[in-house]
Chains A and B, each alone.
Chain A
Amino acid sequence: MRFLDDPVRFLFFTGKGGVGKTSIACATGVHLAASGKRVLLVSTDPASNVGQVFGTTIGNRITPVPGVPGLDALEIDPVAAADQYRERIIGPFRGVLPDEAIASITEQLSGSCTTEVASFNEFTDFLADTTTTATYDHVIFDTAPTGHTLRLLQLPGDWTSFLNTGGDASCLGPMSGLEKQRASYANAVAALTDPTRTRLVLVARPQPTSLGEAQRTADELTEIGIHATNLIVNAVLPASAATGDVLAQTIREREQRAIAGLVGSLTDIPHDEIPLKRHNMVGIDALRSLLSAEEETAAMTAAGAQDSNLPTLDALLAELAPAGRGLIMCMGKGGVGKTTVAAAIAVRLADLGHSVHLTTTDPASHLDKTLEVSSGLPNLTISRVDPQEAIANYRAHVMATKGAALDEAGKAALAEDLMSPCNQEIAVFQQFSHLVHQAGRSFVVMDTAPTGHTLLLMDTTGAYDRDMRRTMAPGLKFTTPLMRLQDPNYTHIVQVTLPETTPVLEALELREDLARAGITPWAWVVNQSLSATDTHSPLLRERAALEAEPLHMVEQAASRLAVVPYLAVEPVGIPLLRELVAPPVTSAHI
């Protein structure tokens, strides 16, 4: 594995959720510890599962990993970090300022900015604070999904120039707290941009969209002065497993084509391929096997066959279609196929003759690719909430209305203030709320952004809801967007996941988060199921058998369920999206 050659002090693994970066980060930790190094594994993922991988509880403080001498791990929980950050600010004034003033400060420090700032504070400690990390030879960061990672990585650059210019710390809490951190942030930036200290490894699956995502990440990082040093293509179907079965053969060909087709900046950096394994990467033995060159032999018995009893998306939509309107939100961690499922649902409802609007708030939109732009369905419209565009529109609107009477100096100052990060959340929410309203007349199908972002959006909605209730006259009838989302007759939440343990556990965590906002998923969709195919490849059948447990977990949790088959070709374009909804039961034998 080339990414392990002469390892430097800091190792970052970045990529969309579900590509396997946690497994690889954990396996790297196990590998380096086995060579006698002292290693610290830091997870900053909002849905961290380092503990799950090692079958133990890690949590918010440095914890030795049982059975792996030399390896310690830590999960930065953004919520807990935000709590501690808030308490550091408010604590000294409890009992000094009136309770009502304390409550008002607390409310202001409850939003997304505070969470980001708090997580970032923790993160820089490990990148820059030598007293915490001095005893370790290597610090491995299992970072969050791409969008979040970018924000996290983008901040140091912004902040350093921001602090150097003595800027006004909008939204970032008391300045005194920031001043103390100045040196720490500067060190973090220096470490991140220094290839002799930091190795940044992109992780992707051998699929064009996943590799495209890695490419985009690499380019975006380059823009902010950080260079990806390695690429790992994970879970590649080995040649030995791709004989005698149409699905396995086409998957193999497709993956090899995608890898051979690497273009642009990704061809300049060394890449490794990790073969698809028979087992899930849970436990130390599995992790040891992940990075070993040994090829596994699949059991030759092709046990099991296509499970034709699995519920289809078509059956699920039959219940939904008659209403002719409503909001359908596909939620789930990045990489589970929310976009694909949302597009398939939209196409099916449009095929049934309904008026459908399909939209995405995913900053890295796959929508155009999935539908190949022109839909060919007259009653299907497609749009995208582009966060950058939304904030630009928001600023323009405020400048043109509230800022209209200002002189030039005043206008310049207002424009500067409107650049604050929380205004982007607000601006996206405004777009979103407009679409929520539209679902009263027709179907609106949304492919929401990755988990963390989605929840922030919900949080914004919640705060807006509280504000509305407070300002509206008592007794007056009103409906807020959050109330729409909580209304099962109006909104149908479709929780999308993959038939693998970690994605299902993450989906269950997401469900808990939604429950706190009073939102319950209407149905679950398990995407890319091998059980729903008739593959006869021994390796793929073994993988299909591994789906039984996660599928059972979903059945326990879901009031409604659909299982979408793994297609031999990527579901791009309308005909293939139709196949996802109602898969034809065909024979794929050679």
Chain B
Amino acid sequence: MPTIRVYEPALCCNTGLCGPDVSQDLVTFNADLDHLQSRGADITRHNLANDPDAFARNPIVMNYLQAVGTDGLPLVLVDEVTVMTGRYPDRVTLTRLAGMADRPDLGLIAVPKASADAGSCGSSGCC
């Protein structure tokens, strides 16, 4: 089974669901993640504020941070291959990445993003 690792910007809590305006992206991703995990997918999220060690230990993530910076997060790795940057995968994509779609049809979905959305409390310091 593919291992999916999502490296997220520094969110004030594990899910980032807080702050003056809760981010729709994070609400949706959180629900999708729960859904896929309940189906047995191997997905783990790492929050920079909670789990800096996970970032420091992975050379791919370190290189990405050096080159692009935290504004380029989230970074999605599948079996240590970068498949998406700067945004969260939706449920259909996640399902495919997890190898659970009816017709696994995996392509590289790296989409550069103009403005980084760090999430609702990415920079609010709410916690």
Contact = CB atoms under 8 A, between A and B. Distances in A.
B70 A173 contact: no
Contact of B49 (A109, A175, A413): A109
A171 B18 contact: yes
B84 interface: no
Q: Which of B13, B55, B70 has the most chain A CB within a 10 Å cutoff?
A: B13
Interface stretch (B29-37, B75-83, B94-102): B29-37
Contact of B12 (A92, A111, A407, A430): A111
A98 B28 CA distance: 29
A515 to B, nearest CB: 20
A250 interface: no
Interface residues of B, number: 40
Given A96-B56, A413-B34, A422-B126, A104 B48 contact: yes
Nearest to B67: A98
A108 B27 contact: no
Contacts of B20: 426, 429-430, 464, 467
Contacts of A466: 123-125
B30 to A, nearest CB: 6
Q: Which of A175, A420, A464 has the most chain B CB within a 10 Å cutoff?
A: A420
A91 B46 CA distance: 19
B3 interface: no
B123 A410 contact: no
Given A98-B66, A100-B69, A171 B12 contact: yes
Interface string A380-414: 00000000000000000010001101110110011
Contact of B18 (A173, A175, A422): A422
A346 B124 CA distance: 34
A98 B61 CA distance: 11
A403 B26 CA distance: 10
Given A101-B70, A170-B13, A420 B56 contact: no
Chain A: interface size category: 35 or more
A188 B29 CA distance: 37
Nearest to B26: A402
A331 to B, nearest CB: 22
Interface in B11-50: 11-15, 17-20, 22-24, 27-28, 30-31, 34-35, 38, 48-50
Contacts, number: 142
B38 A409 contact: yes
A425 interface: yes
A117 to B, nearest CB: 10
B127 interface: yes
B24 A111 contact: no
B27 A414 contact: yes
B9 interface: yes
B6 interface: no
A422 B12 contact: yes
B111 to A, nearest CB: 22
A378 B90 CA distance: 55
Contacts of B125: 107-108, 110-111, 463, 466
Contacts of A423: 18
B17 A418 contact: yes
A101 B14 contact: no
A90 interface: yes
A89 B28 CA distance: 29
A105 B10 contact: yes
Contact of A422 (B27, B48, B66, B127): B127
Nearest to A406: B31
Contacts of A92: 53
B17 A414 contact: yes
Given A97-B55, A171-B127, A409-B38, A108 B10 contact: yes
Interface of A: 89-90, 92-93, 96-98, 100-101, 104-105, 107-114, 168-171, 173-175, 398, 402-403, 405-407, 409-410, 413-414, 417-418, 420, 422-423, 425-426, 429-430, 460, 463-464, 466-467, 470
Given A98-B69, A417-B13, A466-B123, 20 more contacts: A93-B52, A93-B56, A101-B55, A101-B65, A105-B52, A108-B48, A108-B125, A168-B15, A169-B14, A171-B13, A174-B50, A406-B31, A409-B31, A410-B34, A413-B31, A420-B18, A422-B126, A463-B125, A467-B20, A467-B123
Give the 4 A-B residue pairs with the shortest CB-CB distance, closest first: A410-B31, A170-B13, A108-B49, A417-B17
8 contacts: A98-B69, A105-B49, A105-B52, A171-B18, A417-B18, A420-B17, A422-B13, A464-B124
